[in-house]
Amino acid sequence: MIARQPIYNSQMGVFGYELIYCPPCGDSDPKPNKATAQVIVSAILEFGLDQFVNHRMAVINVTRAFLDIMPEVQLSPQQVILNIPDNLVVDAKLPAILKGLRSQGYGISIGGLANMKDRRLLPLATIFRLEVHRFNDTQLDALTTFLRNYKNLSLLALNIESLDEYRDYCTKDIEYLHGRFLSKPRIYATSDFPTNKLALLRLLTSIHNLDTPTEDLEQLITNDVSLSYQLLKLVNSPFFGIARKIDSIKQAVVLLGRDEIRKWVSLLALTGMSGEPDAIVEIAALRAKLCELLAQKAGLHGDSYFTVGMFSAIDLLMKQPLETVLDKLPLSEEVKTAILGHKGMLGEALSCALAFESTDWPKIYFANLSHEDMSQVQREAMQWASDIMGYH
């Protein structure tokens, strides 16, 4: 498998993804050339590069040997940034090779103090990676001031682990940020929900209340003009491939069924939240589909897997602790326990989805699924999330 690690811009949009090789069990120390080869082959042949990175930039870690053959590799240079290792020896040929790759359209990412001292690669690079935690504020300010002398160079802060850190480094004139800060959200200490989010929470409460009559469910959706529009747009899209036109919420509910409509309306409601970055909504969608596909692949049934994955990210959207938000929703105790404590099969599926998200290889397992099963689930979930984000 290969994984995607998002690289965010200062507006919390996804600039691109670093592609990371996930070795099979028993191969804990893959050779760098093998890892690069597998990432490139998978990105081209198995996933399709543009689909895998959702039309964004792809950042690929390359070795010295691969730099020599990159001009012959069938990638789209304008969509690819080559990550040059910090410890790569700058020989007499390397600057000329990188200059040639730049002329083809490839981006070049470098890092490390050695490259700052040597300076031969700085005019050729498009991104400089900064291990920001190695420096105090004064040192970091001096480094960024020096690097700003290179006009075509953008700065990338590595290993950002919290939203507070993300916001702090955004103020330091750093364009791109890389890390797991969305997996470790800061808990907001507000006592009330904003009005628009309170209305959304009430809608979700009614939708997930199994005692809500179908007629009331239709009315709830119809009362929200934006949600109705999104649902009809989705149902009539090529995603569902329905031959006849669906022009009413009642038809949509009948066609999809109550359980499916509850799933889709919940997801569309989250995507319709004003002011929330697409990156956060995409996390919720991807977790939901990963959990659902893991269960299906393992022969388990029930739409609760999708629900667990989706609502595990609702604290990011509501900016409230998970316990506070879930307390407002009529979800079963089994679902709440899975989200909060990762208990039971539902919780194990969520743990696996979170491991995918954070590239925590030892924790990517579920039931008795094979490495090939996991790879298929990953591909299908990413494609599904990419399609959905295109329709919201």
Look at residue 188 and tell me if it is in a domain: no
349-367 pLDDT, tens digit per residue, is 999 999 988 888 888 899 9
Residue 257, φ and ψ in degrees, nearest 5 = 95, 155
268-300 pLDDT, tens digit per residue, is 777 666 555 677 888 888 999 999 999 999 999
> Which residue did the predictor score with more confidence, 32 or 161?
161
Domain termination residue (choose one: 183, 212, 239): 183
Look at residue 190 and tell me if it is in a domain: no
Query: Is 84 within 8 Å of 122 (Cβ atoms)?
Result: no
Q: Identify the pLDDT of residue 46.
A: 67
Look at residue 162 and tell me if it is in a domain: yes
Assess whether 164 and 288 both reside in one domain. Answer: no
Q: Write out the two tokens for 344.
A: 């039971």
List the CATH number of the domain containing 28: 3.20.20.450
Mean pLDDT calculated for residue range 200-211? 76
Query: Is 108 within 8 Å of 82 (Cβ atoms)?
Result: yes
Assess whether 205 and 320 both reside in one domain. Answer: yes
Look at residue 320 and tell me if it is in a domain: yes
Assess whether 25 and 162 both reside in one domain. Answer: yes
Domain range for 266 is 195-391
Domain termination residue (choose one: 183, 206, 231): 183
Assess whether 204 and 321 both reside in one domain. Answer: yes
Does the pLDDT at position 204 exceed 90? no
Residue 131, φ and ψ in degrees, nearest 5 = -80, 80
Q: Write out the two tokens for 93.
A: 């040929």
What is d(CA 245, CA 237) in angstroms, rounded to the nearest whole number? 10
Assess whether 278 and 171 both reside in one domain. Answer: no
Q: What angle do CA 59, 279, 52 make, to 5 degrees?
A: 40
List the CATH number of the domain containing 320: 1.10.3210.10
Assess whether 364 and 246 both reside in one domain. Answer: yes
Give the model's confidence band at 147: pLDDT under 50 very low, under 70 low, under 90 confident, else very high: very high
Assess whether 174 and 252 both reside in one domain. Answer: no
Highest mean pLDDT among 19-33, 108-122, 183-197: 108-122
Look at residue 9 and tell me if it is in a domain: yes
Q: Tally the domains of the chain.
A: 2
| CA neighbor of 83 nearest in space, from 41, 45, 115, 54 | 115
Assess whether 56 and 98 both reside in one domain. Answer: yes
Query: Is 133 within 8 Å of 178 (Cβ atoms)?
Result: no
Assess whether 80 and 157 both reside in one domain. Answer: yes
Q: Identify the pLDDT of residue 189.
A: 41
Look at residue 280 and tell me if it is in a domain: yes
Q: Identify the pLDDT of residue 16.
A: 92
Give Cβ neighbours of residue 336 (< 8 Å, ≥ 6 apart). 326
Q: What is the 3-state secondary structure (H, E, C) of 296-320?
A: HHCCCCCCHHHHHHHHCCHHHHHCC
What is d(CA 4, CA 13) in angstroms, rounded to the nearest whole number? 15
Assess whether 286 and 331 both reside in one domain. Answer: yes
Query: Is 107 within 8 Å of 80 (Cβ atoms)?
Result: yes
Highest mean pLDDT among 1-5, 86-90, 344-348: 344-348
Q: Provide the Cα torsion 379, 177, 56, 65; round to 10°.
A: -80
Look at residue 189 and tell me if it is in a domain: no
Name the percent of the chain lying above pLDDT 90. 36
> What is the tally of helices (H) and strands (E) in the chain?
19, 8
- Report the run of H or E that residue 278 belongs to, with start and end: helix 278-297
Assess whether 53 and 18 both reside in one domain. Answer: yes
Q: What angle do CA 288, 294, 295 make, to 5 degrees?
A: 95
Handedness of CA 186, 192, 194, 196 (dihedral sign): positive
- End-to-end Cα, the chain, rounded Å: 28
Q: E strands along the chain, which residues?
A: 2-9, 14-21, 57-61, 80-83, 107-111, 127-130, 154-160, 176-179
Q: Identify the pLDDT of residue 95.
A: 94
Q: pTM of the prediction?
A: 0.67
Domain termination residue (choose one: 183, 208, 232): 183
Query: Over the Cα atoms of the chain, what is R_g?
Result: 23
Assess whether 160 and 258 both reside in one domain. Answer: no
